[in-house]
Chain A
Amino acid sequence: MRHSFHVRVGPVSFRIGSAWPEPIRQLRALYRDYPQDVGVPDFTVRLAPSRPWRRWVRPSVMIEGDYVIPDAAPLPVAHGLLAAEMGMNLQMAMGQRRFLLLHAAAVARDDRAIVMTGESGAGKSTLAALLQARGWRLMADEFVLLEPSSGLIHPFPRPVSLKNGAIDVAAAAFPDAHWGPLMRDTPKGAIRHLVPMPDGLAAGEQPARPVLLLFPRFGLAAEQRPVGAGEAFVRLTQASTNYVILGERGFAALTGLVRGVTRAAIDYPDVETAATMIEALW
């Protein structure tokens, strides 16, 4: 393709091709501190015009690649960076087989990790991002990689996709952070990508052992309850995009995870409270 960019995030390498230069320029800027990897990629993402003339006339971007969702709606080229990020997520969700994928966030201290999962909007991205200011390194937002053979979490420190109000909150917490461009009026409102702090990027290939599995919910009075292994297992099967296709490996990995960790659901009104609860559970 005319414009392309290679990048490695944790153990996964991507090749992104684009019909337009802007999304690639934005990717280069956003990922400037990541390993720029030109070896054989794990996944290919293509940003292509939805019709040939759409390269010039009201340009609109189709997200394509090794794995494709038919009938996916195109995005305006101004949101090309978002399209690239969605394309990378799509390849992971549909094509990742080396790791059990959990729709979750993870933070770590040294080689011990906390996995946070929950429905979209439960605040796990924001919580994971803000915990970086309290002595945690960010391992993953969106996708947590659980290695079936070892039971370890591998980092996948993609830029955190923050939405609407969370953007300003994180900007206040991290005045020196490296950000992507602010994209208004996306299908999910305003979106801006926050690059993890340097310690998270530096430890981009260091796995950690999961010790705490958290089901956080933001916006409620502080409360905490233990979660049974069975409930945690079922909720995580629903939070995984490749649990079924991994077959027995996926089952063994997931049962191993839920048995080996402390499991808790926490409701929290603010990050300060959540951080205190986490320190106590940990």
Chain B
Amino acid sequence: MTPARTLAALLVDPAGAQALNDADWTGVLAVARAEQLIGTLAARLDGLDVPTRVRAVLADASATALEGRRQALWEAEMARRALRDADAPVILLKGTAFAAAGLDAGQGRSIGDLDILVPHASLAAVEEALLAHGWMWVKPDPYDDAYYRQWMHELPPLIHPERDRMIDVHHTILPPTARITPDAAKLIARAVPLANGLAMLSPPDMVVHAAIHLFGDGDLSGGLRNLWDIDRLLREFSENDGDFWIALSAAAVEHEAAAVVARAVRLSHDLFATPVPDAWAKLSTVDHWYRRRLLARDGWGRATRPATRLAFYVRSHWLRMPPAMLARHLWIKWRKTAGDREPPPPPAERR
């Protein structure tokens, strides 16, 4: 078994830890770090008997995840205070939402930027309020700024320099140029309030968003972690609600995301043994490709399968925008970076 597969198996069944030797552990920990799953692994293996060295690494990962969670929730609270007067519901997305709602998917999870969803009509007010409360633009480049405003599903990223935290303000969950168009109004209308004045997506919409984030956007980097989120969400929501699968099907159709949601469910079942209805269980031929990409990591934590990765990278742009627009965008980006692509010459040549 490759270290990436061992990691997936261990996340599903922590008892498998007993069978690992030092070399296995070395590979698993390297993959878990590279895939940002080390905190999750630590949470899953908590209390089990593992070798001393491994326990020390996992204890560090747990402490890091705990502190990261505290900072993420604090950042959400800062956003809530800043947006108190903007008169818009603030819906937490992704990791911060999992943590704030106490979902299993948030256990040990690393949380990056703060992602929030607000109604499109409130964007200007939200932007103004954030700028007034100390957030600043990250991308001073006028092309990037204009590109975000015209073509993206979010404001250009903002950073709060004092806390060194980024916020992504979304008005929907995919760029308007993408092939599928989620129904942002329904996402907002169905959002579930949390105790502290913030909100999260409804359970079916949360799964749809996670699936779109994984398969409808991006090149699947960090995909294993995102698929793990989906496994945890599916397990928790279907356990709490007997009609969850029906609600999920309906939501997936409403957001034009039936195909990506079905793929997410199939792969989650395949890699993480998620209990799913029979009709959702069988992998398609193309799914095997996705699985290859999701597990493309070796025991040194290195990205493997460059051709598969490249194919998914090209695909991510293909999904995001029409071909002529893609060509123009890549051309402009290439011209901007071509100048500093090459590493500096070795010292002998510099003299």
**Interchain nearest-CB distance for A100 vs B (Å):** 12
Alpha-carbon gap, A91 to B348, bound state (A): 29
> Residue on A with the closest CB to B30?
A44
Complex contact A76–B57 (CB within 8 A): no
Q: Does A21 contact B (CB under 8 A)?
A: no
Contacts of B347 in A (CB 8 A): 76, 184-186
CB distance from A235 to the nearest CB of B (A): 19
Of the 9-residue stretches B59-67, B92-100, B202-210, B317-325, which lies at the interface with chain A? B59-67
Contact A48 B22 (CB under 8 A): no
A42 touches B300 (CB 8 A): no
Give the complex CA separation of A19 and B301 in angstroms.
14
* Alpha-carbon distance between A175 and B56 when the two chains are bound, in angstroms: 39
Residues from 317 to 348 in B contacting A, C-beta threshold 8 Å: 343-348
Per-residue 0/1 for A184-201: is the Cβ within 8 Å of any B Cβ (1 yes, 0 no)? 111000000000000000
The residues of B that contact A73 with a CB separation of less than 8 Å are 343-344
Mask, A47-82, CB within 8 Å of B = 1, is 010100000001010001111000001101010000
Which one, B59, B60, B300, B346, contacts A76 given CB within 8 A? B346
CA distance A205 to B343 in the complex (A): 40
In the bound complex, residues from chain B placing their C-beta under 8 Å from that of A38 are 22
Instruction: For the complex formed, measure the closest distance between the CB of B347 and the CB atoms of chain A, giving whole angstroms.
Output: 4
CB distance from A21 to the nearest CB of B (A): 16
CA distance A78 to B345 in the complex (A): 13
- Cα separation A97 to B67 with both chains bound (whole Å): 11
Q: Mark B66-79, 1 if CB is under 8 A from A, else 0.
A: 01101000000000
Q: Which of B33, B54, B67, B300 contacts A40 (CB 8 A)?
A: B54
Residues of B contacting A50 in the complex (Cβ-Cβ under 8 angstroms): 343
Chain B residues with CB under 8 A of A246? 63, 67
CB of B346 to closest CB in A, whole Å: 4
Tell whether A97 pairs with B63 under 8 Å between CB atoms, given A42-B57, A46-B300: yes
A230 contacts the other chain (CB 8 A) = no
CB distance from B222 to the nearest CB of A (A): 14
- How big is chain A's contact interface, by range? 20 to 34
Interface contact B25-A40, CB-CB below 8 Å: yes
A65-B301, A66-B301 known; A40 and B343 CB under 8 Å?
A: no
Q: Are B300 and A44 in contact (CB under 8 A)?
A: yes
Q: Is A280 engaged at the interface, CB distance under 8 Å to the other chain?
A: no
| Docked-complex contact B22 and A17, CB < 8 angstroms | no
Please give the distance in Å from B70's CB to the nearest CB on chain A. 7
Which residues of chain B in 209-258 are interfacial with respect to chain A, using CB atoms and an 8 Å cutoff? none
A35 interface contact, C-beta 8 A: no
**B29 contacts the other chain (CB 8 A):** yes
Contact B64 A245 (CB under 8 A): yes
Docked Cα-Cα span, A1 to B344, in Å, equals 25
* CB–CB B57/A40 < 8 A: yes
* Beta-carbon contacts under 8 Å, B1-31 to A: 22, 25-26, 29-30
Given contacts A42-B56, A44-B300, whether A58 and B346 have CB atoms under 8 Å apart is yes
- Chain A 1-30, CB-CB to B under 8 Å as 1, else 0, gives 100000000000101010000000000000
Query: Does B33 contact A97, Cβ atoms closer than 8 Å?
Result: no
Instruction: Give A246 to B54 CA distance when docked, in angstroms.
Output: 20
CB–CB A48/B302 < 8 A: yes
B228 to chain A, nearest CB (A): 19
Distance in angstroms from A243 CB to nearest chain B CB is 11
Q: Say yes or no for B134: interface residue by CB 8 A criterion.
A: no
Q: Which residues of A contact B68 (CB under 8 A)?
A: 245
Q: Give the docked Cα–Cα distance between A1 and B61 (Å).
A: 25
Contact assessment for B60 and A39 in the assembled complex, using a CB-CB cutoff below 8 Å: no
A15 and B26: CB pair below 8 A?
A: yes
Q: Whole-angstrom distance between the alpha carbons of A54 and B265 in the complex?
A: 41
Contact of B70 among A39, A184, A185, A247 (CB under 8 A): A247
The answer, among A17, A74, A245, for a CB contact under 8 Å with B300, is: A17
Task: Convert B17-49 into 0s and 1s, putting 1 for each residue whose CB lies closer than 8 angstroms to a CB of A.
Answer: 000001001100110011000000000000000
Question: How far does the alpha carbon of A38 sit from the alpha carbon of B57 in the complex, in Å?
Answer: 15
A140 to B70, CA, bound (A): 32
Q: Is B51 an interface residue (CB 8 A)?
A: yes
Contact of B60 among A44, A58, A64, A98 (CB under 8 A): A98
For the complex, what is the distance from the CA of A58 to the CA of B349, rounded to whole Å? 11
Q: Would you call A41 an interface residue if the criterion is a C-beta within 8 Å of the partner chain's C-beta atoms? A: yes
**B26 contacts which chain A residues (CB < 8 A)?**
15, 40-41, 44
Report the minimal beta-carbon distance from A226 to chain B, rounded to whole angstroms: 31
Give Cα A250–Cα B33 distance, bound, in whole angstroms: 23
> Who on chain A is nearest to B341 by CB?
A51
Task: Give CA–CA (A273, B118) in the complex, Å.
Answer: 64
Partner of B346 from A60, A66, A184 at Cβ < 8 Å: A60
Task: Identify 11 new A-B residue pairs, CB closer than 8 A, beyond the known A40-B29, A74-B344, A78-B346.
Answer: A40-B25, A46-B300, A50-B343, A58-B346, A60-B346, A74-B343, A76-B347, A185-B347, A186-B347, A247-B67, A249-B63
User: What 4 A-B pairs are tightest by C-beta distance, nearest first?
Assistant: A76-B346, A97-B60, A185-B347, A40-B53
List 28 A-B residue pairs with CB atoms under 8 Å apart, sorted by A's residue number.
A15-B26, A40-B25, A40-B26, A40-B29, A40-B53, A40-B54, A40-B57, A41-B26, A44-B301, A46-B301, A50-B343, A58-B345, A60-B346, A66-B30, A66-B301, A74-B343, A74-B344, A76-B348, A78-B346, A95-B60, A98-B56, A98-B59, A245-B67, A245-B68, A246-B63, A246-B67, A247-B67, A247-B70
